[in-house]
Amino acid sequence: MPRVALHTLGCKLNYAETSTIGKQFLDRGFDVVDFGTPADVVVINTCTVTERADRECRQLIRRALRSEAPPYVVVTGCYAQLEPEEIASINGVDLVLGAREKFDIFRYMNQFGKLNSPRIHVSDIETVDDFGPAFTTEAVGRTRAYLKVQDGCDYTCSFCTIPLARGPSRSQTIEQCVAQAADLVQEKYKEIVLTGVNVGDYGKKTGTSLLRLVQELVCIEGLERIRISSIEPNLLTDDMISFIARHQKMCKHFHIPLQSGADEILRQMRRRYTTGDYRALIARICEAIPDAGIGVDVIVGFPGETDRHFEETYAFLHELPISYLHVFTYSERPNTPAADMRLIVRPDVRHRRNDMLRILSQKKRHAFYETMVGRLVTVLTEGDLERGSRFGFTENYVRVGVPADGVGENILLPVLITGVEENVCRGVVPPVRGQV
């Protein structure tokens, strides 16, 4: 049986797309094996958000080629769309596929025979207007499935290459999303995470909306949870907050990019809100859902970010009632306006600021977890086992560990939170009424 190894870099959207690519191989009789083990074909789905992601991709390609029998190497994804020649210059790469081509991989493969020179099939991103459906169908150790509902972006943030790599915003129909979600429920997934490049923009060009989509999804019998992966602050409406607050199936968890807590830097980034707008949004969420989990993306070291700007960002985040941060060190990306901006922040300063916000994130997460002690919550257990404990997540994205004895995976489990250890809550399963 031929073997294929798949590796994904970047966001949850990439993971969903890799799963769809992997299913094509399974349907053709391939055995999917772990990356790093002997394989006939290796597919690497890339990210290009930072220069580090580009570098990691190149390292992975070279790692795959160290095998005694070098595999047929396919590279696709955002980095492949933007820099196909750079990838093709790596000795041993056989095929480079762009955004349009990645879901039609077998059309371009050449019986997996090693080639004297790589082939590149990358369409102009301005011509990419189709929607490659994608959702996870197998995820080892997980009980959440990722469903791609939207792709591309019409925003022009000055630091971002994603519109160049994925094209304009476009959405899958509600009917297609509901059908795919129902299929995932049949495969025993209890939670579905809605993914995309700009999920909040879902349906805007076809006269529908993300709210309308989730109103349909909650009607699927057997689907227990719906989680939104990330949503821009200017697209998170009061109607959506209200729907999430009152509907049991909607996870009380928001991931809302901020990027900077200084208005001057937000303007340079071409973001579509102010810190005042963002603060008011968080206040409305907390009023409607007091125990909501709220994650925040933030970039440090953007061109022109002075010590004063960073201090504003730190103070802003410190005061916000949020749960955790995803901190990114700014990385110059080719063909973006920010790459040509003056007043470059030194790398050592960028890294120091990153460290400071990561420590703040740890404090925020710990404080949020402390508020959960003494509460009875519902945990969706996963495959993770560690030192006699099984782990899972609450609807507001708190990671919880319970004694593993008699506790299986993919179970919605009532848990009493008893304490906090580092980045996890500890809990026990309360006895069923009537038991001694």
Residue 353: its pLDDT value, please? 98
Strand partners, 263: none
User: Edge-to-edge strands of the sheet including 3-8?
Assistant: 31-33, 3-8, 41-46, 72-77, 93-97, 119-121
The CATH number of residue 259's host domain is 3.30.750.200
Q: pTM above the 0.95 mark?
A: no
pLDDT at position 434 is: 47
Going edge to edge, which strands form the sheet with 225-228?
A: 144-148, 191-195, 225-228
Least confident of 8-22, 172-186, 305-319: 8-22
Structural domain includes residue 67: yes
Q: Tell me, yes or no, whether 409 and 305 share the same domain.
A: no
Domain match, 193 and 134 both:
yes
Q: In whole angstroms, give the CA distance from residue 269 to residue 433.
A: 56
Out of 85, 101, 123, a domain closes at: 123
Question: Which CATH number fits the domain that encloses residue 72?
Answer: 3.40.50.12160
Q: Kindly state whether residues 112 and 176 are assigned to the same domain.
A: no
CB 365, CB 326: distance < 8 Å: no
Q: Judge if 367 and 277 occupy the same domain.
A: yes
Looking at the structure, do residues 260 and 205 belong to the same domain, yes or no?
no
Domain membership of residue 62 (yes or no) is: yes
pLDDT of residue 273: 98
State pLDDT tens for residues 32-83.
998 888 898 999 998 888 888 888 888 988 888 887 788 899 999 898 899 9
15-41: string of b/e by CB count within 10 Å (b at 16+)?
A: bbbbbbbbbebeeeebeeeebeeebbb
> Helix, strand or coil for residue 355?
helix
pLDDT of residue 142 exceeding 90: no
Please state, as a whole number, how many other Cβ atoms lie within 10 Å of the Cβ of residue 366.
14
Domain assignment of residue 436, yes or no: no
Alpha carbon 382 to its chain centroid, in Å, reads 18
Sign for the pseudo-dihedral over CA of 104, 108, 110, 112: negative
In this structure, are 173 and 217 located in the same domain? yes
Of the three residues 196, 216, 251, the one that is the final residue of a domain is: 251
Tokens representing residue 383 in the block: 């495959």
**Residue from 162, 209, 178, 230 nearest 12 by CA:** 230
The tokens 């071409």 sit on which residue? 270
8, 43 Cβ separation under 8 angstroms: no
Amino acid at 130: D
Do 221 and 267 lie in one domain? The reply is no
Tokens of 196: 């995309």
Same domain, 11 and 119: yes
**pLDDT tens figures, 195-248:** 999 999 999 999 999 999 999 999 999 999 999 999 999 999 999 999 999 999
Q: How far apart are CA 231 and CA 359, in angstroms?
A: 24
Assess whether pLDDT exceeds 50 at residue 141: no
Q: Let me know whether 222 and 320 are in one domain.
A: no
130 and 12 in a common domain: no
* 321 and 358 inside one domain: yes
* 352 plus 403 within the same structural domain: no
Number of domains the chain contains: 4
Q: Would you say residue 265 lies in a domain?
A: yes
Domain that holds residue 396: 376-428
Q: What is the pLDDT of residues 77-134, one digit of tens each?
A: 898 899 999 999 888 888 999 888 888 888 887 666 666 678 899 888 777 777 766 6
